[in-house]
Amino acid sequence: MAEKKIIIAIDGHSSCGKSTMSKSLAQMLGYIYIDSGAMYRVVTLVALRKGLMPNGEPDVAKIIPELKNIKITFQWDETQGKNTTFFNGENVEEEIRQLKVSQNVSPISTIAEVRHEMVKQQRENGLTKGIVMDGRDIGTVVFPDAELKIFMTASPKIRAQRRFDELKEKGQNVDFDEILQNVEGRDKIDSNRAVSPLKRADDALILDNSNLTREEQLKWTVEKVKEITSGR
Ligand code: DC
């Protein structure tokens, strides 16, 4: 009998390794991986390119009509072992990870119409099971019936250090305090926004990885998947 395929929702704070773990998990299980944060980053990139974020404030009335022209897709890059994000066919993976986008993405993700359109595109991806999606509201809003929900977190300092190392490795000139401020600022906006705030679903398992290696987290998660798919 074919193994039962499920939806795995991974939510949690920014920079706590959600996407790294979700990618490895999807690869191991032969599932599709969808990075929902990348989708909000694409909308932010479009707003920045079109000058619709004067002084860091989104021009909501002008951003809303843009949404219908934004088609976001993902492709798994086998050679690099990573997911690539496309905006209307253009590879924007590098650009959406830059600090400029990180600094502007939270206000964009508080716009109800933006969330509505992104959730619609995210649910389309879940029509066939066998998917790992990470974000902030996957277990609470996008897939409230997901068979496995995990809420990941780690201390702000550890998360800032990880992002700092990641950007440094890419050759970007970054300042640790600026990153820590960005991490803490995003936590605050993500958790306090009116629409779909970052919140653990009642039935989500907590995974605090402050003191865990990637391998340890993955092992823990795979065990949870096995418990569900084998009906243990
Ligand atoms: O996971 P990330 O850091 O790439 O996410 C970028 C931003 O998008 C983050 O500030 C919160 C927002 N986001 C969201 O509001 N809902 C999601 N499902 C995913 C991300």
- Could you tell me how many helices (H) and strands (E) the chain has, helices first? 9, 8
Q: What 3-state DSSP class applies to 224?
A: helix
φ, ψ dihedrals at 182, nearest 5°? -65, -45
Of the candidates 95, 81, 92, 97, the residue with the CA atom closest to the CA atom of residue 23: 81
φ, ψ dihedrals at 203, nearest 5°? -100, 15
Ligand 1 pocket: which of 15, 36, 97 to mutate (most atoms <8 Å of CB)? 36
Residue-range domain boundaries for the chain:
7-229
Helix (H) or strand (E) holding 84: strand 82-87
Nearest-CA residue for atom 9 of ligand 1: 106
Ligand 1 pocket: which of 10, 40, 43 to mutate (most atoms <8 Å of CB)? 40
Evaluate whether the domain defined by 7-229 bears CATH number 3.40.50.300. Answer: yes
Does any ligand 1 atom lie closer than 6 A to the CB of residue 109? yes
What pLDDT is attached to residue 184?
A: 93
As a whole number of angstroms, the distance between CA 114 and CA 170 comes to 29
Q: pLDDT per position in the chain (232 positions), as tens? A: 457 899 999 999 988 899 999 999 999 999 999 999 999 999 999 999 999 999 889 999 999 999 999 999 998 887 777 789 999 999 999 999 998 999 999 899 999 999 999 999 999 988 888 999 999 999 999 999 999 999 999 999 999 998 899 889 989 899 999 999 999 998 998 899 888 889 999 999 999 999 999 999 999 999 999 999 987 6
Spacing, Cα 117 to ligand 1 middle (Å): 14
As a whole number of angstroms, the distance between CA 209 and CA 190 comes to 20
